[in-house]
Amino acid sequence: MNGSSLQKQVVFSPRRRRIPGLALGVATVMLVVAASLAAIALAAGGALTLTSSPNSKLGEQVVADAQGRTLYALSPETTHHLLCRSSECFKRWPPLTVHSSKTKLKAGPGVHGSLGILRRRDGKFQVTLQGKPLYRYSEDHAKGDANGQGIESFGGSWHVISATPSTSSTPPATTTTTPTTPSPAPNPSPGYGY
């Protein structure tokens, strides 16, 4: 009996050791699933924070994406008047996009102005700052690069978005007003029956 009793202990003993291992495995799977669900939620809506980054070439802080890449605007482009619309433009100037119109946009330190999301004709959601669609430049390869500053192409001039509130490398938005000449008062029609 001692031998069979001992044999049962040996049989049950490994199972006892497996239970903590099984619990650890289940906990690991649950953590992986939770992390995956969080990543999916971030991709579906999530959040995007714009930051500011020093630029030694320009001698100022510039607005950058989450990876530290300099952001640009095409002047005189606005959300209602898009100039960068071709695949050639997008190849050279990739728009800063998010996956959903429900993405929360956050302005980090040094980022001034209201952020928004523009739905382009191709269905992509492009981030805007102060009504200007935001782009990156394909020839910027490192944080702080601003190789696209001042380039004239695609119907306008490309400028970095300044994070310095007192000065801006982006030309101020101008509104052109056409003076209106008041129309002369209509001639009174001749009265009848007087």
User: Taking the C-alpha atoms of 55, 111, 73 and 59 in order, what is their torsion angle to the nearest 10 degrees?
Assistant: -20
Residue 163: what pLDDT?
87
Residue 31: what pLDDT?
45
Residue 56: what pLDDT?
83
Residue 34: what pLDDT?
43
Please enumerate in sequence order all residues whose Cβ is within 8 A of that of 71, keeping only pairs 6 or more positions apart, or say none. 50, 62, 63, 64, 65, 96, 129, 134, 135, 136, 160, 161
Residue ranges per structural domain of the chain: 47-160
- The parts of the chain modelled with pLDDT lower than 70 are 1-45, 165-194
- Please give the C-alpha separations between residue 65 and each of 84, 95, 161, in angstroms, as whole numbers: 19, 11, 11
Residue 175: what pLDDT?
26
Residue 48: what pLDDT?
92
**85 residue type, one letter:** R
Residue 55: what pLDDT?
86
Residue 180: what pLDDT?
28
Residue 57: what pLDDT?
85
Residue 12: what pLDDT?
52
